[in-house]
């Protein structure tokens, strides 16, 4: 298959994955912070919330940035596997390889995002950027280790709700990604409940305010 033929298909697949991961990250916030108000930056103005930073340091930055990096590393990892082993990466046929792929693409994708944030986020002091990157990379490693279960979610869905549900976009892509986002962020960054909130989120949720 020529580049001219394959490029549009690859771009379409990466875009679809990006959209899935954006949705999964957004939904995971309701698992991690079921009663808390989140800071979506400039989007806050559309839902009646205060806007502090329009993008940097907000959930919107995380949603877009992480999804973009994961979409790239996910498809890159799959392509490398296919090139090396001359077969499509499939959990049913190569479970161990698929679990390894899951950890590697999540860890590399989140770490890529952390590198971009450490380098470009204006909220970080220049002298703290490398320290921030190292700290975030460690968090990425810890969190990524919790996502081993992701390939098993469609299998569980298929057993509980039938093969059609397990192979659907919801059962095979969105639900596994949403649960993985929750554990990676929750465990890696202690992003649960009133923990892991930025300053505006703490303000909106009355965290640290004496009653």
Average pLDDT per block of 10 residues along the chain, 211 residues long: 71 97 98 98 98 98 98 96 89 93 98 98 97 98 97 98 98 98 98 97 88 51
| The predicted structure's pLDDT at residue 86 | 87
Do 69 and 113 meet the contact criterion of CB atoms below 8 Å apart? yes
Burial of 126 (0-12, 13-18, 19+ CB in 10 A): exposed
Distances (CA, A) of 187 to 135, 139, 146, 147, 167: 14, 8, 8, 10, 28
* Torsion over CA: 62, 68, 71, 76 (sign): negative
Do 187 and 32 meet the contact criterion of CB atoms below 8 Å apart? no
What is this structure's pTM?
Answer: 0.94
Neighbours of 35 (CB within 10 A): 8
Say which residues have a Cβ less than 8 Å from residue 175's Cβ, sequence separation at least 6: 153, 154, 157
Measured in degrees and rounded to the nearest 5, phi and psi for residue 179 equal -65, -40
Say which residues have a Cβ less than 8 Å from residue 195's Cβ, sequence separation at least 6: none
| The predicted structure's pLDDT at residue 4 | 59
């Amino acid at each position: 298959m020529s580049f001219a033929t394959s490029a549009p298909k690859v771009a379409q697949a990466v875009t679809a994955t990006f959209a899935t991961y954006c949705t999964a990250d957004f939904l995971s916030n309701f698992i991690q912070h079921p009663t808390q108000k989140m800071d979506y930056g400039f989007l806050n103005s559309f839902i009646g919330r205060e806007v502090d930073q329009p993008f940097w340091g907000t959930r919107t930055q995380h949603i877009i940035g992480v999804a973009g990096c994961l979409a790239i590393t996910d498809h890159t990892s799959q392509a490398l596997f296919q090139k090396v082993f001359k077969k499509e990466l499939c959990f049913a046929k190569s479970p161990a390889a698929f679990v390894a792929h899951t950890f590697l693409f999540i860890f590399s994708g989140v770490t890529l995002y952390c590198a971009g944030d450490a380098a470009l986020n204006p909220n970080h002091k220049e002298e703290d950027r490398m320290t921030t990157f190292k700290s975030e990379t460690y968090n990425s490693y810890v969190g990524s280790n919790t996502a081993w279960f992701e390939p098993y979610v469609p299998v569980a869905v298929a057993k509980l709700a039938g093969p059609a549900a397990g192979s659907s976009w919801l059962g095979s892509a969105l639900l596994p990604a949403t649960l993985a986002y929750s554990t990676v962020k929750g465990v890696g960054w202690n992003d649960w409940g009133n923990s892991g909130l930025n300053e505006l989120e703490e303000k909106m949720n009355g965290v640290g305010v004496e009653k």
